[in-house]
Amino acid sequence: EGMNLGESIDGEIFVPSFTNEEVCVADGRFTFKDSEEDFIGLGGFGLVFRGKDERDGKEVAIKRVLKQHIKYSEIDVIRSLHSSFLIGLIDVCNLDDNYSCIIMVTKILIILNLSSQELCDTDLDYHIRKNAKGRKLTHANLRLLIDNLARGYKALNDLRIVHRDIKPQNILLQYASSCSYQFSAAKITDFGICRSLENGEMSNVAGSLFYMAPEVGANLLKTCQYDAEVDMWSIGCLIYQCVVGELPFDEGSLCKLFLHTACANYDAYDQPDLPEGTDENVS
């Protein structure tokens, strides 16, 4: 999920530090080792480790994040997610971090479903950068991705949940076999900044810039309400990237986009074109 060890973040190399300690939470139900060996990647607001449910021996993904990044009113909503196209939440546990020499602060462990049936091979961002020719998906992989994202989006929409950070790093992939880059499943993960529409529409800035819907980005300028449709915009940007091999909007275009949404009298933004034959491929 997200960045891997030694990957670049904004031009800088991210190298996390590890204590190599065995960590037990929830009265020993879940265990993981704070080590490079069990480190999976960098998710939203925290590090993700490969862990174990000691009750049945199944593997789980454990994300360690600061307590302040958890919105407790949303936890029960996230727990209610049951879909083959979403990485489900199992539990949220308190953890006193006695190993940090910088900030001694209570942290939260988010336990994610990572059973043997759902163990993912990589994320979409890594696949595009490392395994996709020209950073474009094959027609077969594109069709499966669109199908699985649509089903995952529907599962969220049925529960009136807005993810707000759909991007390649938050799409986990299963390959059909260990010697093939053919997708067998795509799953949406990382619900750290998701919100429930039961609490009304939202008007704060959240998500990743290049996949951010205009009504979200417009909140940089003035208060603009938005709903679940912002996730569909993010999915559209993601699919465009998988088809064309580049993002639909650069920073300049995004500025125009946000200004156009916030100020109706501002010049409209340029709509990106798709290559010939794209409609047939996507359908």
Q: Please pick, among 53, 121, 125, 165, the residue that the annotation labels catalytic.
A: 165
Q: Tell me: is residue 130 an annotated ligand-binding position.
A: no
Question: Class for domain 8-113, per CATH?
Answer: alpha beta
Domain ranges of the chain: 8-113, 122-282
Question: Class for domain 122-282, per CATH?
Answer: mainly alpha
pLDDT tens, position by position, 113-160: 654 345 577 889 999 999 999 999 999 999 999 999 999 999 999 988
Which tokens hold the place of 117?
């049936």
How wide is the angle at C-alpha 84 spanned by C-alphas 142 and 155, nearest 5°? 85
Confidence (pLDDT) at 255? 85
165 counts as catalytic: yes
Q: Is the distance from CB of 157 to CB of 211 less than 8 angstroms?
A: no
Residue keyed to tokens 């800035």: 205
> How far apart are the C-alpha atoms of 210 and 258, rounded to whole Å?
12
Confidence (pLDDT) at 227? 82
Which tokens hold the place of 57?
């021996």
Total-model pTM: 0.75
Mean pLDDT by 10 residues, the chain (283 residues): 42 70 87 89 73 87 75 69 82 58 41 56 91 95 97 91 90 86 91 68 80 87 84 95 94 85 68 69 55
> How far apart are the C-alpha atoms of 259 and 219, rounded to whole Å?
10
> How far apart are the C-alpha atoms of 34 and 233, rounded to whole Å?
36
